[in-house]
Amino acid sequence: MADKVVLAYSGGVDTSVAIRWLQEKYNLDVIAFSVDVGNEPDFPAIREKALKLGAVKAVVADAQKAFIN
């Protein structure tokens, strides 16, 4: 079992490349972590993208109440 790392994942090019880079360079299992602050991106698609790129898990935290209120 590989060590794990949590990556603050936006779904953009840089963090998407980082998933593979962390796996290949450091042999890490990557957990992608995104935060929904109410700016309406497509979080199901972002989650799916992280998993397709090789993340072992993709978590989206709902922080809308904290940021909107």
pLDDT value of position 57: 98
- 1: confidence class by pLDDT, cuts 50, 70, 90: low
**H-state helical runs in 13-57:** 13-26, 43-52
- Using alpha carbons, select from 11, 14, 8, 68 the residue that is nearest to residue 38: 68
Question: What is the per-residue pLDDT across 4-62, written as a single tens digit (0 to 9) for each?
Answer: 999 999 999 999 999 999 999 999 999 999 999 988 779 999 999 999 999 999 999 99
What are the chain's domains? 4-68 (3.40.50.620)
Task: Decide if pLDDT at 69 tops 70.
Answer: no
